[in-house]
A and B are shown apart, each in its own frame.
Chain A
Amino acid sequence: MTHLTYIMAAYGIAVVVAGGFAVDAWARMGRARRRLAAIDPRGRR
């Protein structure tokens, strides 16, 4: 395969950026849910 370095770098950047946002969003959601449950334990969200 020609230009493999450029292709791998492009795919890598896309996966890292999108994956990073996804992991951050899920972690932030989990933190917020736990904190809210500790402050206001009226039910699941």
Chain B
Amino acid sequence: MNENVLNAGRTGSAGAWLHRFANPGRFLRLVRPALPWLAVFSVVITATGLVWGFGFAPADWQQGDASRIMYVHVPSAWVAMAGYAALAGCSFFSIVWRHPLADLAAEEIGPVGAGFTFVCLVTGSLWGKPMWGAYWVWDARLTSVLVLFFLYLGHIALVRAFDSPERGARAGAILALVGVVNLPVIKFSVDWWNTLHQTATITLTGSPTMYVGMLWPLLFSALGMSFGFAAIVVARTRAGVMERRIRGLLMARAQQEAGGRLDMAA
């Protein structure tokens, strides 16, 4: 009976399906050919969106050229939130199915997500200064995104705070799952409270209230940055899998050598 069948018996069909992809060797084989394509695609699409937004899209009739900051600010905000949702998803898989790759992916998503949240906060400040007259206001949207940044930092610190990586991953997973409550707060903060930050221009249910000449470069930037985020996380996870394998091999070799010395002494 192979290992997958045994896992199916222990964890149910969903768990068995997931454990098929928990094999690090299978993960490395799957991502090795896909990663360069993902990277090239994300660079091309992001560059297209940014160049289009910076040089060719029309300026906003009220905000002027400062609205071009939108093409880096909005995609980084979407990616920061989607990254946290991915972190929470990995944490869920980790807690429920003890998926080892989910632990590793969560550990690698944290710093990248924090980076994109940082970009969102800084570019928002750079947009706020000429439009609102201040780099920062304690507005509900800005504050909830700052909380997201702190949640990422807390996760980064927590998973590395334990001698046992498993305990660190479990503590980080609990924090990530608790922090999910912040995502709807960010999304609906502009509707629930009276904020300086504008309400959503693009929604899933309605048509966008944005000129199409500005919408397309924004969508290109968002798509490119999303694929870029995925490529970076997959590359870091791939490196993490190999680093774990190196640690395992070195430990096995050290144990063998120690055993050999004990045998010689006996």
Q: Which A residues form the contact surface with B (CB < 8 A)?
A: 1-4, 6-7, 9-11, 13-14, 17-18, 20-22, 25-26, 28-29, 31-33, 35-36, 39-40, 45
Contacts and interface: CB of A to CB of B under 8 A. Distances in A.
B69 A17 contact: no
A25 B118 contact: no
Contact of A29 (B50, B235, B250): B235
5 contacts: A2-B66, A6-B130, A10-B69, A29-B242, A45-B242
A22 to B, nearest CB: 6
A35 B28 CA distance: 16
Nearest to A13: B122
Interface stretch (B180-188, B193-201, B224-232): B224-232
Interface string B206-247: 000000000000000000010010011001101100110110
Given A22-B39, A28-B236, A33-B242, A11 B54 contact: yes
Given A21-B232, A35-B242, 13 more contacts: A2-B66, A4-B65, A6-B130, A14-B50, A18-B46, A22-B231, A22-B235, A25-B232, A25-B239, A26-B235, A28-B235, A32-B239, A39-B250
B12 interface: no
B189 interface: no
- For chain B, the bracket of interface size reads 35 or more
B129 interface: yes
B236 A18 contact: no
Contact of B32 (A13, A25, A45): A45
A7 B54 contact: yes
Given A3-B130, A10-B123, A28-B236, A22 B228 contact: yes
B63 to A, nearest CB: 9
A11 B235 contact: no
Contact of B235 (A4, A9, A13, A25): A25
Pairs A-B, 10 closest by C-beta atoms: A32-B242, A25-B235, A14-B72, A10-B123, A28-B239, A29-B239, A3-B66, A10-B69, A10-B126, A6-B126
A31 B236 CA distance: 12
B99 interface: no
B179 interface: no
B73 interface: yes
Contacts of B123: 10, 13-14
B116 A6 contact: no
A14 to B, nearest CB: 4
A16 to B, nearest CB: 9
A2 B65 contact: yes
Given A2-B64, A2-B65, A36 B246 contact: yes
